[in-house]
Structure 1
Amino acid sequence: MTTNLKSRLAANEVLVGAVVNILDPMLVEVIAGAGADFLFMDFEHGLKDYSAVANALVAAELCDVPALVRIGEKSENLVARMLDAGAAGLLFSHVSTAEEAQQLVSWCRYKPLGTRGSGVTRGFLRHYGNEFDRRQQASRDVACIMIVEDMVGVGNLEAILAVDGVTGIAIGPGDLSMELGVDRWDHPKVLELLQHMATTVRSFPGMGLLRLCVDPAEAPAQIESGTNMILITHDVHLIKNMYKSLFTGYHTAVEKTNKR
């Protein structure tokens, strides 16, 4: 089992994770080895298949880094299969009500806490104790993060946070900014709303608050506002920006050489 994410949040640690869109085991190892506290594997966007997720989850587990999988489709069977494959927890997109959150949590936990069905899975292979005990431990360990990204969800935020089994809230600034009718995440309307949401989450001790942070200089302000799960930008952006910087440098060197 990977390092328990919920225990670290309960201990008031601030965790720094990364979005993984390219679900390749080697890239997962690179990011985990670079110091990620957790991974945010995106299965909501793009055309990834199940085998890619499965292999990425195995790599994360071998690196002892908890991997959360974001799913767009609200499906009880999909939730079970992701957890069966080794996900430490799930990120549920577009959660707007406490009733939704309650149902999603129930899908993540075995009876009597939830409705997750039992089956022979990867977890069975590394557990040598009682199978009932393993499943009850899995119910306690699983992380259930609700992504609130519309104004209905903002209005129901306290009720969502109060649902037993909700580990944390992720704020979706992209969708919220569009709903507010603005074209950037740093618009005063967006910042005011994000601060309001962070204050609400902070009133629930031990609750995770996950926010995207595109620049380390922004991290102190986010931490002071209550963010304890900092998410650096997408691997696709980072890799593109790295190569863009390199190519720009080399093209500049070529131009200078040709002018001599």
Structure 2
Amino acid sequence: MSLRVTAEPTFRDALATASRAQIGMWVCSGSPLVAEICAGSGLDWLLIDTEHSPNGLESTLSQLQAVHGYPIVPLVRAPIGDRVIVKQLLDLGAQNLLIPMIDDADAAHAMVAAVRYPPLGVRGVGSALARAARWNRIDDYLHNANATISLFVQIETALAVENVASIAAVEGIDGLFIGPSDLAASLGLLGQQEHPDVVAAVEHCIRTVAALGKPVGVNAFASATAERYLAAGANFVLVGADVSLLARGSEALAARYIPAPAVVDEPAERASY
């Protein structure tokens, strides 16, 4: 007798039933061990990133397997809104996808089509070969796949801010996520995520999407920034990353235990050279 299994609840489901904002962190190291450590942290969700990290299909699969069974919801960010890449990530068993750089409703519609089988979309059919269907151990996966997948898109440019209402209104988009870093760059304010114009654009998006009844999230590593956007109505927030925590933590150890090099003044006759 073969073992029959069921799909896990999606991030869409978690947001719909949550009584508070969902707090998460990035996993960018590419390490299944690190992903598993983070999965047991008590946070609500993890973002496994394939856009700005050394993750490919194999390491993404390993991390999904490593965090499976922990009380945390994994999302996978695709490197680009490409329907072939989306198909591959879905077949790996990524139930929750975040697509970067979605600037308008047409791009959002294309991603909805990418996650759905025909006739509703263009996702290639390979369920017998795929972990997503547990190699056809999930009953009637092909006809029920839509219920097992949630799709989120990222607002990261000035154009996307202008189009945020129409993007949020696309049926099949389960939520929007705002990326202040790229948004700042798009506004001509590279590296200035706290600039008033960037903050105003982020808060405009939060208000607009919330008014349309869809979840909206944001990236905010600084605690004061996270609190500001939570107060503005964000439903899910990323507040840290594995690589950043390791970098800052190791720097703090060095600063505490290793004396700073002594400053040696140069002789006066060399100072003017």
- TM-score scaled by length of structure 1: 0.88
Distance 2:136 2:188 in 1: 50
8 Å contact from structure 1 (residues 71, 92) kept in 2? yes
Distance 2:260 2:54 in 1: 38
Question: Counterpart of 1:123 in structure 2: which amino acid?
Answer: A
The residue aligned with 2:152 is 145
Match of 1:247 among 254, 257, 264: 254
Match of 2:75 among 45, 61, 68: 68
The residue aligned with 2:139 is 130
Match of 2:211 among 194, 197, 203: 203
Distance 1:155 1:254 in 2: 51
- SS of equivalent to 2:86: helix
The residue aligned with 1:14 is 21
Stretches of structure 2 lacking an aligned partner (at least 5 in a row)? 1-6, 263-273
The residue aligned with 1:33 is 40
The residue aligned with 1:4 is 10
The residue aligned with 1:258 is none
Change (3 A) 1:5 1:126: farther
Percent identical pairs in the alignment equals 28
Change (3 A) 1:226 1:137: farther
The residue aligned with 2:192 is 184
Change (3 A) 1:149 1:254: closer
The residue aligned with 1:89 is 96
Change (3 A) 1:49 1:126: closer
The count of residues paired between Structure 1 and Structure 2 equals 252
How far 1:126 sits from its partner (Å)? 7.5
8 Å contact from structure 2 (residues 29, 54) kept in 1? no
State which drifts further: 215-224 or 158-167.
215-224
8 Å contact from structure 1 (residues 2, 66) kept in 2? no
- TM-score scaled by length of structure 2: 0.85
8 Å contact from structure 1 (residues 3, 65) kept in 2? no
Distance 2:153 2:146 in 1: 17
- SS of equivalent to 1:62: coil
- SS of equivalent to 2:255: helix
Larger radius of gyration: 2
8 Å contact from structure 1 (residues 66, 87) kept in 2? no
8 Å contact from structure 1 (residues 113, 139) kept in 2? no
Q: Higher helix share goes to which structure?
A: 1
Distance 1:113 1:39 in 2: 29
* Matched ranges for 1:209-248 at <5 A: 209-248=216-255
Question: Counterpart of 1:82 in structure 2: which amino acid?
Answer: L
